[in-house]
Structure 1
Amino acid sequence: MKATIWHNPKCGTSRKTLAILQESEGVELTIVEYLKTAPSRDKLAQLFRDAGMTPQEGLRVRGSPAEELGLTKDDVSGDAILDAMAKEPILINRPLVETEKGVRLCRPQDIVHEIL
């Protein structure tokens, strides 16, 4: 099974999720350090759609400039959040994992088992 993780090596939850993926038999893993190689706006939209979540739910607030950019207000559109995430990938909550079984925001890390 192919799996892609949008990973931040400084994040403990991301490292734990990566370890689960690396220890899982039969997983062909692609690791994308999204702060270095940001997903496109279209890819982000697809990931959130496939995960059954809104861009607002995928927005990283803690440790990001989301509040200063006004992205946490109730009237901010999903499109505006996706645009901001594409420009500033620190706004993307992580880790996102995609397999043929779906996409999950793996917080906590054990959620990854749902798509393995």
Structure 2
Amino acid sequence: MSVTIYHNNACSNSRGALALIREAGIEPVIIEYVQAPPSKAVLKELVAKAGLTARGAMRTKDALYTELGLDDASLSEDQLLEAMVGNPKLINRPFVVTAKGVRLARPPELVKEIL
């Protein structure tokens, strides 16, 4: 089974999801998304396939969220996606992709639904 994780090693949820994937006997493709952010098109697809909105995929408690004025309810999905691509630490994590679907694995145990 092919598994891709959009990973940030500084995040305990991301480390937990990675551990669960490996415990299932799978070595995933690891994308360190802060250093190599997904394109807007890829991020839009991840968000949609996970059943989320752009805002639902953002780290709204990060100070940068407020500093950039992203709490403005009038911002469009495209504007929020552009903000995340330009500031990848705003992307909530980890997104995990398998043939069975995409999950924002928060909590990490959600990854089991698609393994």
TM class by shorter chain equals over 0.9
Give distance in 1, aligned partners of 2:75 and 2:14.
27
Aligned to 1:60: 59
Aligned to 1:30: 29
Aligned to 2:38: 39
Deviations 1:81-108 (A, max 9, x none): 1111111101100011010111000110
Q: Which amino acid aligns with 1:31?
A: I
TM-score norm. by structure 1 comes to: 0.94
Give distance in 1, aligned partners of 2:106 and 2:10.
15
| CA RMSD of superposed structures (Å) | 1.0
SS in 2 for 1:65: helix
SS in 2 for 1:35: coil
TM-score norm. by structure 2 comes to: 0.95
Structure 2: which 5+ residue stretches go unaligned?
Answer: none
Give distance in 2, aligned partners of 1:93 and 1:86.
12
SS in 1 for 2:20: helix
Shift of residue 17, structure 1, vs aligned partner:
0.6
Aligned to 1:20: 20
Moved over 3 A (4+): none
Count of matched residue positions in the alignment of Structure 1 and Structure 2: 115
Structure 1: which 5+ residue stretches go unaligned?
Answer: none
Identity rate, percent: 44
> In the alignment, is residue 5 of structure 1 matched against residue 1 of structure 2?
no
Deviations 1:7-60 (A, max 9, x none): 1001111101100011113x3410011111111100000001111111010011
Please tell me whether the aligned partners of residues 64 and 90 of structure 1 are also in contact (alpha carbons under 8 angstroms). no
